[in-house]
């Protein structure tokens, strides 16, 4: 199995799969023009490719669809499950939306037309696109790609709202984004009270058939954007990053706001976000999904300035996380959310508004403590103050044994009461200036600023362990929790909030190996001990 997410070694080893000898030879020659690519083998169908993969160990596979014995769609299913190798689908069957939808649903890097010097005037651009997709595919984190379940539309779901939109969700994504888009849109309810505009990296020749097929099974009507369209609630507008896209007043005066496709621009996602924020202001939600590059960050900043809400797909479920990571570094993201939870967040936003949803996205609903997203933001601020005043910051991460079992055996009410008592004890043990956060059901974190001595940190750790080890007296039962605690220090143990938090987690793992009611500081050798 290929190690997903690594920086590829050049040249990128590529397996070309097509049943036509002429096409195999043509693709081989196209890829050979880039010294960063090396074709290590060819196969005549999906079954032949599966036999060769163990010996060739390719980094990327180019795959046709229409082949005898085993077609490309069936082959992708096997490849993703058995080998997790990035696949670039190269096919002439671009007018059939089913094949494009299925390939992208299953998690291919991209679906591109076969380059043709006979039927296309831009064959040079098509050949370069194929080479780019192979090179970029080699760095795709395939282990994070998940197959989208194809749902059946319920009778009556196809009914569309015809009212002009008074709120808009703007989604931007680049390479490998359509898979996440499908998942989010498929989970939105019929009658969603906002317009949804999706700008994704999909070939323009595939956009229309892909959208038309998606429209047959989506709970919302799906409209491919090729010109000017009135922006209506309850519809999803699909566009390609190969063109620009803007939200503007209707020049004809027939509707309030329209969506207009424009000539290609360098940063189409920024353009969409900025124009949407200008028209809808605080009724704008900008969503940045998986992808490469820096497009979208400036647009999200504009959305925030206009009072809108910005969301990034959580990096742990992004096959190309750096599009969102760049926006995070620029403080442009209000909330980080896994793609399978995005739809419910968007529904809450559309119904409740930006401020309420922003709070819900940053705070634990049971305890009102900051969640992991807000914790990392506050940790970054604490590190900046540490640099300015040359002080020490400590991060404590503690795990509660048996809490999940209590939830399972005694129910949510009992579990929630214990969590609230845990919070009361932590607040009693810490200073008002310390940040206490709930990062998981059974995990809490604490940021300590202006710490001068390690002895003070150790003393607090021991106090917390003693406090939480004491019995929890409930009405029907007395409970005890086992506690482990990991500690890291800034600036000694990490240069970024993410790395410091990860190293605190390593220290927590070390404390857990010692048994209940113990703590451990991070040590550099823990990185080499990580499995």
Residue 452 belongs to domain with CATH number: 3.30.70.270
At residue 505, the 3 state secondary structure works out as helix
Asked, for residue 151, whether it belongs to a domain, the answer is no
Q: Are residues 101 and 205 in the same domain?
A: no
Which pLDDT does position 452 carry in this prediction? 83
Domain with residue 28: its CATH number is 3.40.50.2300
Q: Indicate whether 107 and 208 sit together in one domain.
A: no
Q: Would you say residue 159 lies in a domain?
A: no
- 323: in domain: yes
User: Largest Cα–Cα distance in the chain?
Assistant: 80
Same domain, 390 and 353: no
Asked, for residue 367, whether it belongs to a domain, the answer is no
Same domain, 346 and 409: no
Section 159-185 average pLDDT: 85
Burial 456-477 (b: 16+ CB within 10 A, else e): ebeebbeebbeebeeebeeeee
Residue 4: pLDDT band with limits 50, 70, 90? very low
Do 184 and 46 lie in one domain? The reply is no
Q: What was the pLDDT predicted at 1?
A: 38
Give the separation between CA 241 and CA 204, rounded to whole angstroms. 9
Q: How sure is the predictor about 154, in pLDDT bands with cuts at 50, 70 and 90?
A: low
- Residue 202 sits in a domain whose CATH number is 3.40.50.180
Among residues 315, 339, 362, which one ends one of the domains? 362
- Are 346 and 377 contained in the same domain? no
- The pLDDT of 488-508, averaged and rounded, is 94
Question: What is the count of structural domains for the chain?
Answer: 3
Q: Are residues 356 and 378 in the same domain?
A: no
The answer to whether residue 147 sits within a structural domain is no
What tokens does 366 get?
Answer: 């049971």
184 in the same domain as 291: yes
Q: Which residues contact 74 (CB under 8 A, 6 or more apart)?
A: 46
Pick the more confident residue, 16 or 94.
16
- Asked if 429 and 352 sit in the same domain, the reply is no
Instruction: Report yes or no on 132 lying in a domain.
Output: yes
What is the model's pTM? 0.70
In a domain, 120, yes or no: yes
What pLDDT score does 10 carry? 86
Percent of the chain predicted with pLDDT > 90: 59
- Tens of pLDDT, residue by residue over 254-299, are 667 899 999 999 999 999 999 999 999 999 999 999 888 899 999 9
The whole domain housing 428 covers 372-529
Same domain for 206 and 334, yes or no, is: yes
For residues 92 and 220, state if they share a domain: no
Backbone phi, psi, residue 477, to 5°: -160, 160
Last residue of a domain, one of 117, 138, 159: 138
Neighbours of 530 (CB within 10 A): 9
- Same-domain check for residues 191 and 113: no
Residue 145 lies in a domain: no
């Amino acid at each position: 199995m290929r190690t997903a997410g690594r920086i590829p070694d050049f040249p990128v080893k590529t397996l070309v799969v097509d049943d036509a000898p002429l096409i195999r030879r043509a693709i081989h020659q196209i890829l050979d023009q880039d010294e960063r690519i090396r074709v290590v083998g060819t196969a005549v169908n999906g079954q032949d490719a599966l036999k060769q993969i163990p010996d060739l160990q390719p980094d990327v596979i180019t795959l046709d669809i229409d082949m005898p014995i085993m077609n490309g769609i069936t082959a992708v299913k096997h490849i993703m499950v058995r080998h997790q190798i990035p696949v670039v689908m190269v096919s002439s069957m671009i007018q059939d939306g089913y094949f494009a939808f299925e390939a992208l649903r299953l998690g291919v890097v991209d679906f591109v037309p076969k380059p043709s010097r006979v039927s296309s005037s831009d064959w040079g651009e098509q050949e370069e696109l194929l080479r780019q997709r192979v090179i970029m595919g080699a760095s795709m984190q395939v282990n994070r790609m998940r197959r989208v379940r194809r749902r059946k539309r319920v009778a009556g779901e196809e009914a569309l709202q015809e009212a002009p939109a008074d709120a808009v969700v703007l989604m931007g994504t680049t390479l490998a984004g359509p898979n996440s888009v499908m998942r989010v849109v498929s989970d939105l309810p019929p009658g969603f009270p906002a317009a949804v505009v999706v700008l994704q990296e999909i070939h323009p020749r595939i956009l229309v058939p892909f959208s038309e097929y998606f429209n047959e099974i989506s709970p919302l009507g799906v409209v491919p954007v090729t010109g000017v369209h009135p922006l209506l609630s309850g519809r999803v507008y699909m566009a390609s990053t190969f063109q620009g896209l803007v939200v503007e007043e209707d020049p004809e005066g027939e509707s309030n706001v329209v969506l207009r496709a424009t000539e290609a621009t360098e940063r189409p996602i920024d353009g969409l976000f900025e124009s949407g924020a200008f028209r809808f202001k605080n009724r704008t939600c900008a969503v940045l999904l998986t992808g490469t590059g820096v497009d979208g960050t400036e647009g999200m900043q504009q959305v925030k300035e206009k009072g809108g809400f910005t969301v990034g797909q959580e990096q742990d479920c992004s096959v190309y996380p750096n599009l969102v990571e760049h926006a995070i570094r620029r403080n442009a993201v209000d909330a980080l959310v896994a793609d399978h939870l995005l739809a419910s967040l968007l529904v809450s936003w559309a119904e409740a508004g930006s401020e309420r949803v922003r709070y819900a996205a940053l705070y634990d609903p049971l305890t009102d403590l900051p969640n992991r997203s807000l914790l990392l933001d506050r940790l970054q601020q604490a590190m900046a103050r540490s640099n300015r005043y040359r002080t020490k910051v400590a991060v404590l991460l503690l795990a509660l044994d048996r809490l999940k079992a209590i939830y399972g055996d005694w129910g949510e009410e009992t579990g929630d009461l214990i969590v609230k008592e845990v919070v009361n004890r932590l607040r009693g043990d810490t200073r008002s200036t310390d940040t206490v956060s709930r990062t998981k059901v059974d995990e809490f974190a604490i940021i300590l600023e202006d710490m001068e001595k390690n002895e003070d940190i150790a003393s607090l750790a021991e106090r917390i362990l003693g406090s939480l080890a004491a019995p929890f007296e409930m009405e029907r039962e007395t409970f005890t929790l086992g506690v482990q605690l990991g500690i890291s220090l800034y600036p000694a143990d990490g240069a970024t909030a993410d790395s410091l938090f990860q190293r605190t987690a390593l220290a927590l793992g070390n404390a857990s190996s010692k048994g209940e009611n113990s703590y451990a500081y991070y040590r550099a050798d823990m990185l080499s001990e990580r499995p």
